[in-house]
Structure 1
């Protein structure tokens, strides 16, 4: 009988579900890191929320651990790469608390509009300062969503019920999906200039970190109110304080912070700030939902091998796994590559399988491609929910198979059509096991993808390669491999450079500023 540890406070229904599925379970919330390390080796599964920190040290001691289940969305408290290296599946429950988090954002917005927490505190003190808490109506106001995914779309629906106008900035939101949601898709600067209320619903990535900073606050409508129930780090907290002090921002309601638990913060005590301790998912219904889901998912894997909502492994049957493994790696690299170079809303995705791969079960390959494509801009995308997310966003998915062999024994080609351009990425397997990129944007080249890379589109002009190499060398960037290709002499060319360390922002800016560069991107795999 497999054995699972529940190490965080969780609904009793989770424990009950494990027992009903034939899984032995221990409920021990509140363990110290040392206590967890001492006992984790006895368990096949670990069910957690946000309190337990699954560090490399914990995973090293988890000699029998097969699966970690997070009752909730975020897995910031799990070292996913270390889990992957140790062969431990990491699952989450991405949709169990969406409604609850969206409702909290709406509640925070209403509290801001009417200064409810401040008025409550004043009234409890017997002051009766009726004139001190003049509020505003939300009816007819413009709500700006930064991120219009699952939670953002629910917020939009609730805002329509409040008779608000809703606009949204989301690079992955198509105009068709925006029309379905009844919202207007805009660029970030337009949202900042028009919105009376701004609420964030985007993951914390390199692209979104500090998305609201000093420059953004300066572009906002004076008197704007801001809500963040998504992730700490999306807002520059010091810059927000300055904007509040100057009156540029009238108020802010924050459920998340750059450092949590937030015992001290530059915004604490500010009269225009409402704070809650990361309560977005804290309702009875949400906690029951995620507890039941995580218990079901862990039990299913331990008892039958079924994998659902895994973040670091595909949902593949035991029979197909050995055959598909190298193709899964190739699909993940192609999708991840395309996702990192795509900067606007995706309209259509075309996936072509040629040669040997066309005769295999391509469903998990397509899901893996979509996961890689959507992950750079969206939180918690996995093989299971990637097709659903694509469908929700009205992304047209076309798949074709041709068992004929052309230039390669096997080939996967991904074509991504956005509102602005069409890009292709193709890959193959060398010796049936080693993934290689063989075409980007219609340019033939051959490249092995490594952890850190630099992608450059440039005009094919003499001296460019030397200038790029000199710039990298001057900045101490060591080049591992350098792949080049072009379509036509003197026109568009592509450089794909593998480097030993991540490209720093200052270096990327210098590359972008080089003569003949059209686009430069830092890639991570």
Structure 2
């Protein structure tokens, strides 16, 4: 439980070489106490470094486990400078009163462009032809080489990436069908099919753009590959756990699929020094990339801006809009007031307890909003500036309190 610190006392730990835009945003907002490290850290190093950090920014390699988080006594916020948040124990972060932010939209164009490029390369048989030429061969043939125009792209997951890919594919003359667990309004002439199986049966190219959920893990197995058209293609730039790699390898070995492009894997190397192991390395008709769907300068620049801005809004205003694990609360500041942030166990009666306590002390509340998520509640309230010291003490005395901060 902490009072508001001067901005130069609030410590940021940024790992894995997040884009310089993050530093720019933080500096312009008055935050200068920043440690910037270009690599990920192993657990022991991380525990030592995070000990005095209030904010930590990571990409995909840093693992924020419960053990690490429980050692970070001053930590109030986590920023994932990427789309995924699998590297963070979100439940532990919630229990400890730590919101987690990510950048779900900043790299959508980069991923969509990669998938479009891979589609063209696969349908022309370029990966295998390229490998042959590198060995000195000259396989000049149109066999199994196709234009994408007129072919059917099957998009699984019609969110920000899938829908943008849909538009790009139509621009090249492809037909687009898509499957989503929700009914989604199509862009252009795309058509939402009735089932996942129907999409697999109709598409010339199947591409995954789904989140990592229990329902999406191993969604592509021997059964699903068996439903796909003979001579079709498969692309995964979503999550590694969505695909049974051994079953994909079998579908390629049998000739059921003419090719595939995979950017994410169930097990990925933790560093460039670790060898990548996969049965897919045996296939020259498969494009293998090291989780670079969002790794463009443009995407990383946008991610730096997006996540750093969320840091600033949480530090300055207590705004948790778009947090992936935390109650989402956002209210405008009221004049001549101080803001208090109260993170507490989600049990009945906390709000009434706080309000009754404030009323007894004659504390005037000028604005208030509370939301809950799981076992945690988040209360944001503005009080008259001359009441903030009393209000802070009253909040500290609430038995269910996890964290409390006051913003001046």
> TM-score, normalised on structure 1?
0.60
For 1:37-75, what per-residue CA distance to the aligned partner results, in whole angstroms no more than 9, with x for missing partners?
112111110011112111112112211000000111100
The answer to whether 1:301 aligns with 2:308 is: no
SS at match of 1:47: strand
1:183 aligns with 2:190: yes
What residue number does 1:107 align with? Answer: 117
- Are 2:52 and 1:42 equivalent residues in the alignment? yes
Q: Distance in 1 between matches of 2:24 and 2:177?
A: 44
Partner SS state of residue 225, structure 1: strand
Matched, 1:274 2:282: no
> 1:272-312 deviations in whole A, cap 9, x for unaligned?
21110111101000000001111121122223322232112
Distance, in Å, in 1 between the alignment partners of 2:67 and 2:340 is 33
After superposition, residues 278-293 of structure 1 pair within 5 angstroms as 278-293=291-306
Displacement after TM superposition at 1:78 (Å)? 0.7
Is 1:72 aligned to 2:82, yes or no? yes
Contact preservation (8 Å) 1:18, 1:295 = yes
Matching of residues 94-173 of structure 1 within 5 Å? 94-131=104-141, 134-173=144-183
Stretches of structure 2 lacking an aligned partner (at least 5 in a row): 1-7, 270-274, 332-338, 351-366, 379-408
Mapped to 1, the partners of 2:142 and 2:169 lie a distance apart of 27
Q: Deviations over 1:312-346 (max 9, x none)?
A: 222325569689966999xxxxxxxxxxxxxxxxx
Name structure 1 gaps, 5 residues minimum: 330-360, 373-382, 384-525
CA deviation string 1:373-409 (max 9, x = no partner): xxxxxxxxxx9xxxxxxxxxxxxxxxxxxxxxxxxxx
Helix, strand or coil for the counterpart of 1:282? coil
Q: Distance in 1 between matches of 2:99 and 2:117?
A: 36
Q: Hey, which of these two has a bigger chunk of strand by percent?
A: 1
Higher deviation after alignment, 13-22 or 162-171: 13-22
1:29 maps to 2:38: yes
Deviates more, 1:97-106 or 1:313-322: 313-322
Distance 1:59 1:128, change over 3 A: same
For residues 243 and 184 of structure 1, what CA distance do their matches in structure 2 show? 27
Find the partner of 1:203 among 190, 193, 211: 211
Partner of 1:214: 222
Find the residue that maps to 2:280 and give its secondary structure: coil
- What is the distance in 1 between the residues matched to 2:240 and 2:344? 41
- After superposing on structure 2, the runs of 4+ consecutive aligned residues of structure 1 that deviate more than 4 Å are 317-329, 361-365
Partners of 1:26 and 1:363 lie apart in 2 by: 34
Assess, with a 3 A threshold, how the Cα gap between structure 1 residues 219 and 263 changes in structure 2: closer, same or farther. same
Output the CA distance in 2 between the equivalents of 1:120 and 1:42: 51
d(CA) in 1 for partners of 2:148, 2:301:
32
Distance 1:362 1:98, change over 3 A: farther
Q: How many residues align?
A: 336
Q: Distance in 2 between matches of 1:242 and 1:322?
A: 50
Q: Which residue of structure 2 aligns with residue 336 of structure 1?
A: none
Asked if the contact 1:145/1:169 (under 8 Å) is kept, the reply is yes
Give the 3 Å change call, closer, same or farther, for CA 118–248 of structure 1 in structure 2.
closer
Equivalent-residue separation in structure 2 for 1:100 and 1:93 (angstroms): 13
| Residues 301 and 307 in structure 1, CA contact (< 8 A), matched pair in contact too | yes
Please give the alpha-carbon distance, in whole angstroms, between the structure 2 residues aligned to 1:106 and 1:301: 37
- 2:248 aligns to what SS in structure 1? helix
Structure having greater relative contact order (Cα 8 Å, sep ≥ 6): 2
Deviations 1:210-256 (A, max 9, x none): 22211112222111101110011212111111111111111111011
C-alpha RMSD of matched pairs (Å): 2.8
> In 1, are the aligned partners of 2:127 and 2:284 still within 8 Å (CA)?
no
| TM-score, length basis structure 2 | 0.76
Shift, 1:32, TM fit: 2.7
Instruction: State the distance in 1 between where 2:157 and 2:90 align.
Output: 24
